[in-house]
Amino acid sequence: MDDEIYLKYKNLSRGNWGKDLSMLKMMYIGLLNQRKGDELTPITEMLLNYFLAIPKARKEGKKIMMHPFNYGPEIFYAMDLVPLMQETYSVGLAPLRLNEPFLDLANKIGYGDNPTVCNAQRPLIGSYMQGVAPIPDLLFFLSTPCNSLAMTYQVFEQLASIPSFNIDIPYWTYDKAGEFNDDKVIDYMINQSKELISWLEQKTNQKLKFEKFQETMVKVNQARQYILEFNELLKTVPCPVNSQAGMGNFLSMVGYGGTDDAVKSTKWLRDSAAKNVKNGIAGVPDEKIRIAWPYTHIFFDGDLLTWLEETFQAVVIMDLLGFYQVLPHDVSTPEKCFESLAKGTLDFSMIGTCRGPIEYYIEFLINYVKDYKIDCVIMPMQFACKHAYLMARVSSEAVREETGVPVYIFGCDPYDSREVTSEAIRGGISDFITQVVL
Ligand code: SF4
């Protein structure tokens, strides 16, 4: 970004954000400085504005709605709330290793440990005890993808006395042709969405206007259409984008789903991929290996995928979050808008694959390997993520049997650099690629 834009964003962050937003401010400044030398893409712009929206909401007296990383914020935008995806904070601290003192503090006060409660959320509790965790006006969470997340959100709710609403995610699918269909699933979700809206109306003293709801749903579905096209383009060999690109779609939908910002950033990603396909440009020059990464990133090691690209000319097609799979829907009537909201929640990144029988995840992974012409699967795994931990081995056997593609599963804590170090992770991946894949 040029100096003028950098200074503009720097000036926008000036002033006192409040003690509970002090870490968020530090993260904003870190992000701004990290991207200073890069081109200002719609994704960077979106991320910077996302941080700035929080102190701005405080100033303008708007309510801040905290929610987890597995729920799109469209209904919150439709009700003029300012969403804050909690893990922007508790996971966003990890690349800077600023989460680790808070993990130690959580240990000290006896709030879980890594095998029992996930470190993706635990910094929230440690930092709350020091008065630097962001305090929202309202809190929302789901029963999936894990009991660990739901537990930490409940503890936070009680400690900080924040009004909270949560919804239950059913196990079964709405796919009538599928083995696991239950015709009640969509109605069950719609009823809960309506209860959420009533609760929000009561807490905000305002009514949801249908026109605004529909406008939001049109935008969220426009962005879904762009992502669908982007995902198709990534089947091209060589892959037209680098290993981090898919994450931009996830961040757009979890941060800005239902807004013009998400439409703009997903379109930009789709257009960039399409242009590269047309011109035969690879995201990783001389691409040699295509990797499926069906779990989250190693968040404390932001350079890991770049290292893979530079060392092995290997591209990670998408991670589990970046592989956003919600399809676009018709939203021409109020009923269809509610149905689209329900399906969007059921199919959201990580929810669609992790909310029911293991077959959902196995089917996803086998299709991923076949459709994207994958050479190998690499899967970090941590014991706190109990559902994924259980699925990893069975899924890897299914992939080997059905496709013959090798799978490497390795243990680590993606949020704590001290459990398994970057060096050990890279050593294991190197051995797998050189001895098994190549
Ligand atoms: S990594 Fe697993 S345990 Fe941790 S928040 Fe995500 S789904 Fe839950």
pLDDT score, position 114: 76
- Per-residue model confidence (pLDDT) at position 413: 96
Q: What's the CA gap between 355 and 48, in Å, rounded?
A: 32
Say how far apart CA 365 and CA 391 lie, in whole Å: 11
Q: Which of 89, 117, 118 for mutating ligand 1's site (highest number of atoms within 8 Å of CB)?
A: 118
Spatial distance between the Cα atoms of 313 and 286, rounded to a whole number of angstroms: 6
Kindly list the strands in the beta sheet with 164-167, ordered across the sheet, starting from the edge strand earlier in the chain: 82-85, 64-67, 138-142, 164-167
The two structure tokens encoding residue 210 = 């249908």
d(CA 409, CA 429): 10
**What's residue 78's pLDDT?**
98
The helix-helix angle for 42-60 and 260-279 (nearest 10°) equals 170
- Cα of 419 vs centre of ligand 1, distance in Å, is 17
Pocket perturbation via mutation, ligand 1, pick of 296, 383, 391 by most ligand atoms within 8 A of CB? 296
Please provide the DSSP assignment of 134-153 as one string. ---SEEEEES-S-HHHHHHH
Q: What is the pLDDT of residue 115?
A: 81
Tell me the best of 67, 353, 385 to mutate to test the pocket of ligand 1, counting ligand atoms within 8 Å of each CB and taking the most. 385
**How far away, in angstroms, is 389 Cα from ligand 1 center?**
10
Distance (Å) from CA 335 to ligand 1 centroid: 32
pLDDT for the residue 423: 98
For the chain, domain boundaries: 3-437
Q: Separation of 349 CA from ligand 1 center, angstroms?
A: 12
Report residue 341 as tokens.
């909201």
pLDDT attached to residue 1:
87
pLDDT along the chain (438 residues), means of 10: 93 96 96 92 96 97 97 98 98 96 95 88 97 98 92 96 97 92 97 98 96 98 98 98 97 98 98 98 98 97 97 98 97 97 97 94 97 98 91 96 98 96 98 97
Q: What is the per-residue pLDDT for 334?
A: 95
Residues forming beta bridges with residue 165, ordered by sequence position: 140
142 has which bridge partners?
Answer: 167
Going from the Cα of 114 to the center of ligand 1, the distance in angstroms, rounded, reads: 11
Give the separation between CA 175 and CA 199, rounded to whole angstroms: 29
Tell me the pTM.
0.96
Q: Which ligand 1 atom is the nearest neighbour of the CA of 388?
A: 2
Please give the distance of CA 110 from its chain centroid, rounded to a whole number: 28
Tell me how far the alpha carbon of residue 393 lies from the centroid of ligand 1, in angstroms.
17
Cβ(97)–Cβ(300) under 8 Å? yes
Enter the DSSP assignment of 20: G
Nearest 10 degrees: Cα torsion 349, 352, 354, 357: -170
